[in-house]
Every structure is written in structure tokens, then in C-alpha cells.
Chain A
Amino acid sequence: MEMFSESLLNKKNKRIQSLYRSLFMMMTLLLILPVLVILSTLIYKGGSIISVDFLLTDPINGMTAGGIFPALFGTVWIVTVALIASVPLGVAAAIYLSEYAGDNWFTRAINLAIINLAGVPSIVHALFGVGAFVIFFGFGTSILSASLTLAIMTLPVVIVATKESLEAVPIAFREACWNMGATRWQTIRRVVLPNAVSGILTGVILEVSRTTGETAPIMFTGAAFFLPFLPQSVFDQTMAMSLHLFVVSTQVPNVPDALPYGVALVLIAMVLIMNSISIAFRMHLRGKKKW
């Protein structure tokens, strides 16, 4: 019994330990506080307006009433086209960088450029999009221009996520394959990619959630203030959720209070659902460890 009685030092250590524990816990609670406040305000003020009709009808009376269908539809369009452009490009680039490229100044320069691309403010991407896609390539203000601008902006997300999940596959597996006479591509295709695919998908979903919420890059390149019709092709302009939220909260007079909150709630719900799927993927990935 003597051995387990508490010494003064034990008591002191325990006191310090519980102090740090509560300190860190308070920081964590502080972190989730803004999220809770935002969500509860949105639900409290905008929840009443959400209905199937709200999601599936057009805005009416100068956007002071009616639903948000064209904006919702437009956002899905923009995100889809952006993904089609950026995922193959980003995954291919990441495969090159992590599987083929040697460790030299050129590779390091490319990696640095990708990190810098992630740090460029979105308004700069927007203006680049105007210059490159709207004017130079002549796509006009269109879904295509907006999506390509977003694609370039979110490329680093895809590249970094893909690279990380490729690099998480141990080098020993590759060497074992090469030793059997497998080419680099056979190795990538049969061993590396199958084990990296969940990580890549996680990155893609994160990209989706980021693309959904962006406003600046699309407002000059393809998203319209108000359109009485739905886009027919990628060369049409479209309404989009993020810009619509900006418009109804600042640009249109006599909007009922609940409307902007409702739009924000739908937008944030889209992003949260995407993020939840991404987290679920990651947990699934962890649960299925293959080595």
C-alpha cells in the first residue's frame, strides 16, 4: 500500500495536468463557438423559409420572393465543369511529381509554384480569369470561364491531396514491384493508385466544397446578377448560390429578412454535406488499412 500513496510531487503533477487539460479544452470550445452561433442564427432566422418550393422555384418580384432554383442549378453546373477540368489535370500532375519526377531544382520549383498558387487571393484569380478566359480565349462571361477560373484556383487542393495520398504508399511496395520487372506505370496502376484512390477522392470532395462557396472568381467571369432563364450550355451565363447570396443581402431593396438567411443556410448546408462525406471517406480509409 505504501508504494501507491500519493507523494507531494504526484499531487503537484496531477494539479498541473488538470490545469492544462481544462485550458486546451476551453480553446477547443472557443473554436466551435462561432460555428454554432452562425449555424443557429441561420436556422433561427432563415429556417422558416426553407421548403421544397424554395429550392425548386425561380426568384420573383425582383428577387424579393420566390425560390433559388436557378442559382442552385447554376452552382451545380459551375462546380461540375470545374471538376471536369481540374481533377484529371491535377491528378496527372501529382502522379508525375510524386512518381516520375526526379528530385531536382525543376521539380522543387514546380512544387513551390503550386504552393504559391494556393496562396494567391481569389480576387487575383478572378481578374486572371477575366483576362485569360473571358477575353483572350474569347469564352465570354460564361460557365466555362467561371469554371476554368475556379479550376485553376483549386488545382493546388487536388494536387496536394493526390501527392500526399500517393506518398503515403510506402516506397518498399514500389521497389518490390520494380524488382519483378514491372514498369513505373504498371506499378502505379496496379499497386500505388488503388491504395491512394480514397485519399484522392477526399481531396476532390474538399475541392468541391471550396468551389461551391467561392464568389469573387465567378462574379466577373460567368455568374450573373439575375437571369430569367436557365443556362443551356457552358457558354451561357448562369446564376450561382454564392453570388445570389451577395446580391440579395446587399444589392436588392426590400428583401424580406428571412430570404438571405435562407440562401446562406442552403449554401452552408451544401458545403457541410460535402465536408461530412469527405470526413466519412477518410474514416473509412483509416478503417481499411492495408499494411
Chain B
Amino acid sequence: MVSTAENMETTAVQETPKLKVSNLAISYGDTTVLKDINLEVKTNEIFGIIGPANSGKTSFLKVLNRMDTFNSNMSFEGDAFFNGLNTRDLRNLYALRSRVGVVFPLPVGLPLTIYENVALSPRLRGVKSKEDLDIIVERCLMRAALWDEVKDRLNSLGSLLSGGQQQRLTIARALSQEPELLMLDEFSIAVDPVTTMRIEDVLKELKQEMTIILVTNLVQQARRLADRTAFFLNGECVEIGDTEELFTGNVKDERTIGYIEGKFG
């Protein structure tokens, strides 16, 4: 009996989705940009979000990290649960944000050295020893496919790198948080195709360690990486399903096929 109860408990823990969103609606002032979003992201899956520009993908990510508090104009209704906890009720948003790594399409290299850009988050959580920091910095830059280009100038400014390099620097920075959830918003927008493929390979490995939400304009990228994919269109979630199913035409809504086949968007 006892062992059954324990089993049930473990099962219950495993079944708590990393992220659960119910009836989410996001607005800026009076303009609603996203509504009726209900979805779950499982632990250790790559969840793709595709959809044309202006369909609310970035706003969705912002709410998950509670970035609505940075912008008095932005508000949301409904609930988003992280590890089963309602992010609306969280007192300690710092703890939430430190567990969620975000990479936005316009990369922001902090006006610190390349090394300090990546070492900042570990430092914030109390890592002090130089050796530990060195290891973290090298590993994160390696994973973000930037190490070879910057290993000889770790002390030059991160904010003066080229656009694509800054993008990979922000990926390294997000990884340095050792996040439970990594959210990538069009990470490949300024990155060349070869490097993009390298990062994609890394993402497939990272899946073992963390949950990944991948927002992308490149539907083929979603197909290559995502276990499940959601299709956002004009502020609505049109479809959520197994990625292979969607790409093999097994869809509930005709618009999904239209977008995937490039008929609009």
C-alpha cells in the first residue's frame, strides 16, 4: 500500500507540466494582442511556436517571464503556471526569472566584457571562485557556438560584437543561468546557416537538461527541433499538436497547412 502511494506521488510530480497556461490573454493598453491561450509544455521537451509576425509570440514569452512588470502598459489575464506555481502569485519574481533563460531577436550585449556578460548570472547567484566561473564561461560560450571566435579576446566589450555574435552571446548568457526553461525567440535571425545548425545540434542535447520553447519564423526549424508545435495567428492559438503530425498534414485547421506550406504569412 505504502509503495503504491509513493508511486502515485512520483507519478503526480512527473506529470506536473513545466509550464501550464490557461485562458491567457495579453493586452497593451486597450489593444489585445493574444487571447484564449491554453497549453502545456512538458518537462524536457522542445515546444515550437510558429506564426507570422505580429501574432503575439513574443508577448507570450514576455508574460511567461513576467516581463509585464517592466512595462506599465502591458497586462495579462488568465494564469500561467511554472512548475505548478501560479506566476501571478509569485512574490519572488527574481527566482522565477533566474530559472528562465530568454533570448530575444534583438540581441543585447551588456556593456561588460564578453567574459563578464556570461559570468554575470553565476556571480549574481553567488559563484565566486575564478576557476568555477572560467568553466561556466567556457562551457556556455562553447554551447552557443561562439567560443572559437572570442576565446582570445574574452576581455573585450560584448556590446561591440557583431549582431550575430551578440545573438550567440545572449544565448550563452541565458545558458549561464542554468535555466529550467529556455525560451528562444527567433535566435537564428542574425546567425549564418552553418552556425545555426551547430546551435540546433546543441539544443537537441540541451533537451536532456532543460525545457525549451522555440519561437521561430522558419517553419522548417520547428520541424527539425520541436517535439510539439503551436501555431499562433493574429493573437490566437490556432493549433497545437505533435510536430510530425502537423507537417504531414494531420491538422484540425486548414490555416495551419496554409502557413506551413507558405501560402500566406
Contact = CB atoms under 8 A, between A and B. Distances in A.
Given A172-B108, A191-B111, A290-B159, A180 B67 contact: no
B70 A180 contact: no
Contact of A180 (B72, B160, B177): B177
Interface in A184-227: 186, 190-191, 194-195
A190 B120 contact: yes
B94 A182 contact: yes
Nearest to A186: B124
Q: Is the interface of B mostly helix, strand, loop or mixed?
A: helix
B94 A290 contact: no
Given A191-B110, A191-B112, A179 B94 contact: no
Q: Is the interface of A mostly helix, strand, loop or mixed?
A: helix
Nearest to B94: A181
A167 interface: no
Given A179-B102, A181-B97, A183-B94, A291 B160 contact: yes
B173 interface: yes
Contacts of B174: 180
A184 to B, nearest CB: 10
Interface in B105-122: 106, 108-112, 120-121
A291 B67 contact: no
Interface string B82-110: 00000000000011111101100010111
The 3 closest A-B pairs by CB, nearest first: A181-B98, A290-B111, A181-B97
Interface of A: 102-103, 169, 172-173, 175-183, 186, 190-191, 194-195, 290-291
17 contacts: A169-B111, A173-B110, A177-B110, A179-B67, A179-B102, A180-B101, A180-B177, A181-B95, A181-B96, A181-B98, A181-B99, A182-B120, A190-B124, A191-B111, A194-B111, A290-B157, A291-B109
